[in-house]
Amino acid sequence: MSAPLGVEARGLGVRYGRKVALGGVDVAIPAGSITGLLGRNGSGKTTLASVAAAFRRPTSGAVLVGGEDPWENEDLLPRVLLVRESGDVLDVETLRTNLRFVEDCRPAFSREVAERLMDRFELDPDAKPQKLSRGQKSAFGIVLGIASRADLTILDEVHLGLDAPSRYAFYDALLEDYVEHPRTIVLSSHLIGEIERLVEHVVVLDHGRVLLAQDADALRVTGVSVTGPAREVERFVVGRTVLGRQQLGGTAQATVLAALADGEAAAARAAGLDLGPVPLQDLFVHLTADGAADAARELGRAR
């Protein structure tokens, strides 16, 4: 059977010795979506990915993949793939042999896609992983990640070391194959501005907890950038949650959490204010800044 697999964490806790990496996480990653798994360094993204892919057992609580516990689950094994930056390949075998090995384990693997991407990233099938540059290793991980067409594909910081043209080739290839073969894709990256156009759902972790989990379109319209005469900007922000503000002379700019009604937007424009969207990257920076947890909670309530 092949169908996109969703992920659900229920009170999921993971400790490394005394270190709490995930502290009671409740979150759902919708089946058949591209979800951006975001968070600052050490927030728990890799840990969550590792538990979903059954690389690690929870210390408490549970994670379900397609409604089932993934741990030692033979049915899920070929359908769930975690590609890590470290690369999980046979270092002493050629890329060609590695591809064949993966093809044998992955029922949905597309050799045609693999070959096309090998060409696209200029990877030599006769090379061995240990001889590849960091960016080439990442590219090979991406080839495996896309060509495997796993029902749950988790790509954890797989772009590291890739130059900008290669990263954009990766995003295009991922999107193209996802449209043709829908599955659940979880994309963890710090380059939020670059993956923004790909993601349909966003999960933000912060210190081992879920800061927010939301539809990306809904998230985009909850942040508003307002620019104009400082006095008007101050009037506009009264009673709203301000994520950030700047002032230069008599002109001010503020980023606020607000879902504006049509009338409010028109009134603000009539008062000489420019309203604009807030890039996801900026929202992320504001929401994960120290002391911003209240704003994130408010955003969660506004859903």
Ligand X SMILES: Nc1ncnc2c1ncn2[C@@H]1O[C@H](COP(=O)(O)OP(=O)(O)OP(=O)(O)O)[C@@H](O)[C@H]1O
- Closest approach, Cβ 13 to ligand X, in A, equals 12
Residue whose C-alpha is closest to residue 47's, from 7, 17, 20? 20
Closer to ligand X by CB, 18 or 301: give it: 18
Mask of contacts with ligand X, 257-276, x by CB under 6 A?
--------------------
Closer to ligand X by CB, 136 or 188: give it: 188
Residues touching ligand X, count (CB under 6 A): 11
- Closest approach, Cβ 23 to ligand X, in A, equals 10
- Closest approach, Cβ 255 to ligand X, in A, equals 24
Footprint of ligand X on 23-62 (CB under 6 A): 39, 41-47
Part of the chain binding ligand X (CB under 6 A), chosen from 14-22, 103-111, 146-154, 229-237 = 14-22
- Closest approach, Cβ 37 to ligand X, in A, equals 9
- Closest approach, Cβ 157 to ligand X, in A, equals 6
Instruction: Give the one residue of 5, 7, 12, 21 binding ligand X; rule: CB under 6 A.
Output: 21
Q: Which residues bind ligand X (CB under 6 A)?
A: 16, 19, 21, 39, 41-47
